[in-house]
Amino acid sequence: MDKKIISTDKAPSAIGPYSQAVETGGMIFTSGMIPVIPETGEIVTGIEAQAKQALNNVKSLLEAAGSGMDKVIKTTVFIKDMNDFARVNAVYESFFDKEAGYPARSCVEVARLPKDVLIEMEAVALK
């Protein structure tokens, strides 16, 4: 099976030995996206702003791969504090179409994330 490496400057660049995303078998698998502003490298503050930036980064990466948020079938959300769950959900919901059906999702609390951010998200989408 062939694989295609996806890369864009509209999402944070990889900070280790991994690709931003990989396409194979008509599917896109993103790496975890943290709330870094790609143009400046700065990290936004507050859980809502971080959730929105992380989702915008996922969106930009999927669009670079010829996909989009409407084709997401599964996400994984890593949050530093499960007490932020409701606030993350409010932002998350705004990126998906309820009528089309939300993607499957896992959400886990973690001890620490890269650059000490509050949230990281990854997605699996159809091409």
> Which positions are annotated as active-site residues?
107
Measured between alpha carbons, how far is residue 94 from residues 26, 45, 75, 110 in Å?
Answer: 26, 19, 15, 24
Measured between alpha carbons, how far is residue 45 from residues 33, 34, 49, 95 in Å?
Answer: 15, 12, 6, 19
Strands 27-30, 119-126: pairing kind:
antiparallel
